[in-house]
Amino acid sequence: MKGNELLKINNLHTGFRIKDTFYDAVDGVSLTVKKNEILAIVGESGCGKSTLATSVIGLYDQNKTRVQGEILFDNKNLAALSEEQMNDIRGFQISMIFQDPLSALNPLMRIGEQIEEGLVYHTTLKQTERESRVLELLQQVGIRNPERVAKQFPHQLSGGMRQRVIIAIAIACKPQIIIADEPTTALDVTIQAQILDLLIDLQAETEAGIILITHDLGVVAEVADRVAVMYAGEIIEEAAVEELFANPKHPYTRSLFNSIPQMNSQSDRLNVIEGIVPSLMNLPRSGCRFSSRIPWIPGEAHEENPTLHEISPGHFVRCTCWKEFHFKTDKGGGTHELYANK
């Protein structure tokens, strides 16, 4: 791997077993995570973004899941490691921030003990050193009275405080990679802003690579450096954040942007993507997976086996249908391109 590349995912397939057949929820994803970078993975529910995260950190049910491909980290292929080997990496070099802070914390353990757990397992620090490290961590995530909070139980804290504790647990062993799965979805906007600012500040300190999984394009715009958009298990567009927001190319990305109720838009109607996301069992396994959602675009516009094309340095788009794509202008549906690419 090159100098600042921390994690490299090569052609990853993660499938779930339904009646003895495996169906791939993540279907041939390749990604790299660099040092000191926030990579956002965006998509709607069911697109496979969370499955991708659990594949990387190995939190899946081994009996029902099949992971193929390579996840290269620190000269090891994480996809091929045993549970014991994975335990040594998980929480130490790669850690995770979960969506719902209440269910991710153990209700019967004091906050201090929960943060200490990772330190006991992965480090050789003495008891007193661990205790001071816990207080230091709580301070670092912006909790004002760490001594008191360390002795409290999760239910005594507010949602924002709990999420801070989750972050403290995640950064306890100074991981190189943090996977944040919808870290602010359960929080109010003012708390969300605080938590996002905290993540940015912590990253500047630790220089970790962060994989941020979210469905909220606003959050992506605020914090990400690079963005990968997922649809039906595939990455359909990947670019630097400025490039993607100024110049979205893939029909799905553009449709998504047009369905956001904007703070500063004047228009009356929002864009609607026709049809529904195909279910895992009915996914078209060949051709452009988005083609059924844009039936007014002729079939010749799509590639037979869509691949990612680099259309400008660092900007990848799957399939060729974006060249022909235009929004449908039908009855009442005034299409308004907020991000016209002219």
The binding site for another protein (CB under 8 A) comprises 44-45, 159, 188-190, 192-193, 196-197, 200, 215-219, 221-224, 241-242, 245-246, 255-257, 259-263, 265, 268-273, 276, 332
Nearer to another protein among residue 18 and residue 272 (C-beta): 272
CA distances from 300 to 296, 297, 320 (A): 12, 8, 9
Nearer to another protein among residue 221 and residue 301 (C-beta): 221
CB atoms closer than 10 angstroms to residue 28: 16
Which 3 state secondary structure label does DSSP give 191? helix
Least distance between another protein and beta carbon 334 (Å): 11
Least distance between another protein and beta carbon 246 (Å): 8
Least distance between another protein and beta carbon 194 (Å): 8
Least distance between another protein and beta carbon 276 (Å): 6
Which 3 state secondary structure label does DSSP give 196? helix
Nearer to another protein among residue 94 and residue 223 (C-beta): 223
Strands (DSSP E) found in 101-188: 177-181
Question: CA-CA distance, 189 to 183, in Å (whole number)?
Answer: 12
Question: CA-CA distance, 4 to 299, in Å (whole number)?
Answer: 41
Helices and strands per DSSP (H, E), number in the chain:
11, 12
| Chain mean position to CA 186 | 15
Question: CA-CA distance, 338 to 226, in Å (whole number)?
Answer: 21
CA distances from 152 to 161, 183, 316 (A): 12, 22, 48
Nearer to another protein among residue 46 and residue 69 (C-beta): 46
Nearer to another protein among residue 221 and residue 280 (C-beta): 221
Structure tokens belonging to residue 25: 């929820």
**DSSP state at residue 293:** G
Nearer to another protein among residue 120 and residue 338 (C-beta): 338
